[in-house]
């Protein structure tokens, strides 16, 4: 009787193969040293390259002096903090202030409320689709979160105005948003399930009524958690000359009109997405992304990194910081101020590194914007940037009193968005921003939210 040896199934990682890999691993002295080091030490610490610090020396040839950093606490509101930090510099210049904060809680409250309404309306419009429809499933995965983008901030400021932090300070819930976000999303998903049944039965009026009930529940929860914002407030401040000033009975919209005016309409979002589906000098929007339904839709102009840097540098030279979005998941030294893609040598120990081609990283879900900050400085050598100064919103305990330095090579790889004055664009770029944008699906990486 003959037996036929069973053919090994392709792709199976069998025990014999693993045993061979392990033996090969143990033969290498470097592998044994690495294993010992990693048993008691973080991978990033073992891989750190001390010589890399020289590339992020905190000295800058162009620098915009800004006020003390803020702290978003245990919330993902970086885009709001960065945006309000930008706007407060405009107000501080007008009033000669040495330090000042706008109410992040005020904008955050209405962002939550508007996002919930936006999500409920989106769900209602898709209620006739199967529950596993890709668009509906994407929306329901995380309908209301802390994150956002520049144009979403513009919508909130234009609709609700601004007020000083002293007039509407933070609450525990505004600084710790996990639980209220969870409850809000539970309510939205419950509505989605009910709306699906009602629409299937042709009961559109009843579905709309249920949407209003859900919106009322969510509104009440966020008002209870974040507080009831004032209709009017008194704005008292002391300028750099120690002179006291007070303005009585302002509304948030009056405050915004007086001190910001139409300033936010003067800026354009630029993105750097070197992918085949996004030609340069074309503008894009993302479907089902937003907060204020009647507000301005997301509008990104895709440009080369060279053009993005030129516009950023020009704005800094003009005395204005730059709101920008990047991926801070890579090569960030948590123990210092330096963010540099040469700071960690993963290849020597692991034979690979976490990053690869920027366009491929976007296409294959390896990277996307996840954090917004302000660029407040750059060091130029022969007209070219070598490093950038960043104002973060993680408080003063990290970095250099809350400020960080990014090498230009890190900047090239992981910066995806910057908001600059429209008058810094070329005529061709400006014309492109006015054309009907190409619509991208909600899961496109340029639709990710900074938090």
CA 223 to centroid of chain Cα atoms: 24
Angle at which helices 178-200 and 134-141 cross, to 10°: 150
Residue in 404, 391, 320 with CA at minimum distance from that of residue 68: 391
Which residues participate in catalysis according to the annotation?
78, 371, 392
3-state secondary structure of 338: strand
Instruction: Give CA–CA dist 69/394, Å, rounded.
Output: 8
CA separation for the pair 387, 43 (Å, rounded): 25
Rg (alpha carbons) of the chain, rounded to whole number: 25
Half-sphere exposure of 97 (CA within 13 A, CB side): 21
- Parallel, antiparallel, or unpaired for β 300-302 and 267-271? parallel
Of 138, 56, 133, 1, the residue nearest 408 (C-alpha): 56
Contact (Cβ atoms closer than 8 angstroms) between residue 333 and residue 398: no
Long-range contacts made by residues 202-207, C-beta under 8 angstroms, separation at least 24?
207/124, 207/127
Q: Give the Cα separation of 213 and 104 in Å (integer).
A: 27
Could you give the CA distance from residue 449 to residue 79 in angstroms, rounded to a whole number?
Answer: 9
SS3 418: strand
């Amino acid at each position: 009787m003959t037996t036929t040896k069973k053919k090994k199934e392709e792709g199976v990682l069998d025990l014999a193969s693993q045993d061979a890999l392990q033996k090969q691993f143990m033969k290498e002295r470097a592998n044994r040293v690495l294993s010992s080091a990693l048993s008691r030490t973080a991978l990033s610490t073992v891989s750190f390259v001390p010589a890399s610090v020289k590339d992020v020396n905190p000295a800058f040839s162009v620098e915009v002096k800004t006020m003390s950093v803020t702290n978003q606490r245990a919330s993902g509101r970086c885009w709001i903090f960065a945006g309000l930090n930008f706007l407060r510099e405009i107000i501080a210049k007008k009033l000669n202030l040495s330090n000042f904060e706008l109410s992040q809680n005020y904008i955050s409250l209405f962002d939550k409320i508007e996002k919930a309404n936006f999500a409920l309306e989106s769900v209602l419009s898709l209620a006739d689709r199967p529950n596993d429809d890709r668009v509906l499933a994407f929306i329901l995965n995380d309908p209301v979160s802390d994150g956002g983008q520049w144009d979403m901030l513009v919508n909130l400021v234009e609709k609700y105005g601004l007020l000083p932090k002293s007039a509407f300070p933070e609450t525990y819930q505004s600084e710790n948003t996990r639980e209220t976000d969870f409850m809000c999303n539970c309510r939205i998903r419950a509505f989605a399930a009910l709306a699906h049944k009602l629409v299937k039965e042709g009961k559109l009026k009843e579905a709309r009524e249920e949407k209003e009930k859900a919106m009322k529940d969510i509104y009440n929860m966020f008002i209870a958690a974040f507080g009831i914002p004032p209709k009017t407030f008194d704005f008292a401040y002391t300028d750099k000359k120690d002179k006291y000033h007070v303005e009585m009975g302002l509304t948030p919209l009056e405050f915004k009109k007086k001190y910001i005016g139409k300033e936010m309409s003067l800026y354009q979002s630029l993105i750097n997405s070197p992918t085949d589906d996004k030609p340069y000098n074309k503008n894009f929007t993302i479907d089902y992304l937003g907060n204020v339904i009647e507000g301005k839709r997301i509008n990104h102009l895709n440009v080369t990194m060279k053009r993005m840097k030129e516009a950023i540098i020009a704005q800094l030279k003009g005395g204005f910081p730059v709101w920008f979005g990047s991926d801070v998941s890579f090569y960030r030294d948590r123990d210092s101020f330096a963010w540099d893609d040469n700071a960690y040598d993963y290849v020597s120990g692991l034979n690979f590194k976490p990053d690869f081609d920027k366009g491929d990283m976007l296409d294959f879900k390896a990277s996307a914007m996840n954090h917004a900050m302000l660029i407040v400085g750059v060091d130029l050598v022969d007209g070219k940037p070598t490093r950038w100064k960043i104002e973060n919103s993680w408080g003063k305990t990290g970095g250099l009193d809350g400020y960080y330095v990014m090498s230009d090579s890190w900047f090239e790889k992981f910066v995806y968005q910057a908001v600059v004055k429209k008058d810094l664009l070329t005529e061709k770029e400006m014309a492109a921003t006015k054309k009907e944008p190409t619509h991208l699906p909600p899961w496109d990486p340029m639709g990710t939210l900074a938090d």
